[in-house]
Structure 1
Amino acid sequence: MEQQISPQEVLDIMIARDRFSQWLGLEVKEVGPGYCRLEYTVKEDMLNGFERVHGGALFSASDSAFAFACNSHGIITVALDVSITFTRPARAGDRLYVTAQEVHLGNKTGLYDIRTTNEEGALVCLFKGTAYRTSQPVKQEPQAGA
């Protein structure tokens, strides 16, 4: 019988193991079925050579929100395909808000829209993700081979 686990329990399991999201300083403010909202502050070590936030930092924060949203159903889910479009720069000290929303959930795949905005509500980047749902439930103990 499949164990039922809440989105918050899944998030707690993932966050405890996700040292990269911790290093980025991501603060998850809300999680629900197919949904995640987090925020973070752009740090100096996230800047590129033009003193703007590096695209990799934006991608990583979006990818984490994507992971938290798509795994919220309690089934181990992995990225199948992602893309990102950058719309405006951010600088050190800027507070960024990332919202991941499930657009479609099928038996084996899910489609997600992840938007990062700045303090004025302007779009900084748009990340689209397609996720593959394995048949393995999220569990407290580490997954064998995962």
Structure 2
Amino acid sequence: MSPRQVAEYMFDQDEFSQWMNIKLIEVKENYCLLEMLIRKEMINGLKTVHGGVTFAFADSALAFSSNNSGDAAVALNCIINFTKAGKEGDVFRAESILVNDTRKTAVYDIKITNQNEELIAKFVGTVYKIGKKVIDL
């Protein structure tokens, strides 16, 4: 299966990413670009995007980029820095890029921007390769 097919296979089973209404814009091996519209139910008490929504969006980008080779990987450690508050109606984009790859782990940089290309958050995710195929899980 191609990286796009693996990502689509995963997405079809990922009810949470579907609930967030994530769109797979571009998928290449160990890379993805996602898009998501910020809806009313994603807003917190300060009328900005809930941090958990932003984190979950980045985590989905990590999943779709780190598994699209067909080899399953799970998050081992994730760090996020929020740089700008998002608002209802914003369109977030998450770009996940592989920066380090070893036999058992990999590190990805994920940049989340809005429709004006302003940086919303920077996320670094480390994954552990579990030694199984995505389609076998």
CA distance in 1, matches of 2:131, 2:5: 18
Cα separation, 1, equivalents of 2:94 and 2:25: 10
Q: Which stretches in structure 1 are left out of the alignment for 5+ residues?
A: none
What SS class does the counterpart of residue 110 from structure 1 fall into?
strand
2:104 is aligned, of 105, 108, 122, to 108
How far does residue 37 in structure 1 lie from its aligned partner after superposition? 0.1
Q: Which amino acid aligns with 1:71?
A: N
> How well do the aligned residues superpose, as a CA RMSD in angstroms?
0.9
**SS at structure 1 position matched to 2:93:** strand
Bigger Rg, which one: 1
Query: May I ask how many residue pairs the two structures share in their alignment?
Result: 137
Aligned sequence identity (%): 38
Say yes or no: does 1:66 pair with 2:62. yes
Q: Once the 2 structures are TM-superposed, how far is the Cα of residue 87 of structure 1 from its aligned partner?
A: 0.2
Written as runs of structure 1 = structure 2, the 5 A alignment for 1:1-146 is 5-139=1-135, 143=137
- Shift in Å, 1:9: 1.8
Give, in whole Å, the separation in 2 of the partners of 1:41 and 1:16: 19
List 4+ stretches of structure 1 deviating above 4 A: none
Q: CA-to-partner distance for each residue in 1:18-67, whole Å, 9 max, x for gaps?
A: 00000001001011111010111110000000110000000000000000
C-alpha distance in structure 1 between counterparts of 2:62 and 2:34, whole Å: 11
Using the TM superposition, give the Cα deviation of residue 129 of structure 1 relative to its aligned residue in structure 2, in angstroms.
0.3
CA distance in 1, matches of 2:72, 2:114: 30
Q: Deviations over 1:95-138 (max 9, x none)?
A: 11110011011110000000100111110000100000111112
Separation in 2, partners of 1:64, 1:7: 15
Q: Secondary structure at the match of 2:115?
A: coil
Task: Give me the TM-score of the superposition, normalised by structure 2.
Answer: 0.97
AA matched with 2:76: L
Q: Which amino acid is 1:18 matched to? A: D
